[in-house]
Amino acid sequence: MGIDPDILAPEGWQAALAAFDWQVDIGVTDWVQDDPVNRYDLPERLERPAAPEPARAAPRPPQETPKVDPVELARQAAQGATTLEDLRAALAAFDQCELKKGARNTVFADGNPAARVLVLGEAPGRDEDQEGLPFVGRAGQLLDRMFEAIGLQRQSPDPARALYITNVMPWRPPQNRDPEPEEIAMMRPFVERHIALVDPDVIVTMGNTPCLCLLGQKGILRLRGHWTQALGKPVLPMTHPAYLLRNPAAKREAWADLLSLKARLT
């Protein structure tokens, strides 16, 4: 079967990836081909004597390929941004991260940029990738309810009652895997700039990825609830709402963390 030329168009490629993701999500592990394959034949076929190697041209001296340091490129792109819109455009134009190729959207942020509280999550999931906004799926709905319980809402025009929400990774990792340390390091200059431009009074990190990014530490169950500092700001690590959906008993500790945040803001 030849390659459908539409697949090579960017939107065709994304549609193919989405179809593939969907099949993995519903549990497909193998596929049936049009023509039957007798797998018992394969070793026999593989044992055929190899065809003689064609004569090779003399090897060319190795070419110097200029090395690009993606973290340095990210730093330059982020430093050039003097407004949030600049930063959004810089991220959308940044092509060093492989995750971008499989994502439908660059998920930048949501909420009120004047908010006192900035919530830093991990990475978009399927719903966020589709809508282009952070925390809009089930975990996001729980996050909204959690903060509403202490009087904070992402859409509030009042900075004292508002939230600003963003993620370490602006692109969905395949099958929602954890971002790799190199991917987190590449996004750190953007996260730093994002926080500098919003200039919140307090940062709340959700889950391990933002702790790795801002604090250089993992182990959210140990870190949660303990105020610390990063980038000159108070930071409160909390367990991720997706974890709370899987472990409802942990909501009790999350509530204690929310009360601690509320006390800090008064």
Binding site for ligand URA (CB under 6 A): 121-125, 128, 134-135, 139-140, 167, 206, 242
Give least dist CB 86 to ligand URA, A.
Answer: 22
Cα–Cα dist 174/74, whole Å: 22
Residue nearest to ligand URA (CB): 121
Cα–Cα dist 166/254, whole Å: 19
Choice between 136 and 258, CB closer to ligand URA: 136
Choice between 206 and 261, CB closer to ligand URA: 206
Give least dist CB 211 to ligand URA, A.
Answer: 12
Choice between 73 and 250, CB closer to ligand URA: 250
Give least dist CB 122 to ligand URA, A.
Answer: 3
* Assigned token pair, 17: 């990836």
End-to-end CA distance of the chain: 65
Tokens 């980038």: give the residue.
231
Q: What is the DSSP letter of 83?
A: S
Choice between 21 and 73, CB closer to ligand URA: 21
Q: Are 192 and 203 in contact (CB under 8 A)?
A: no
Give least dist CB 82 to ligand URA, A.
Answer: 25
Residues facing 165 on adjacent strands: 110, 119
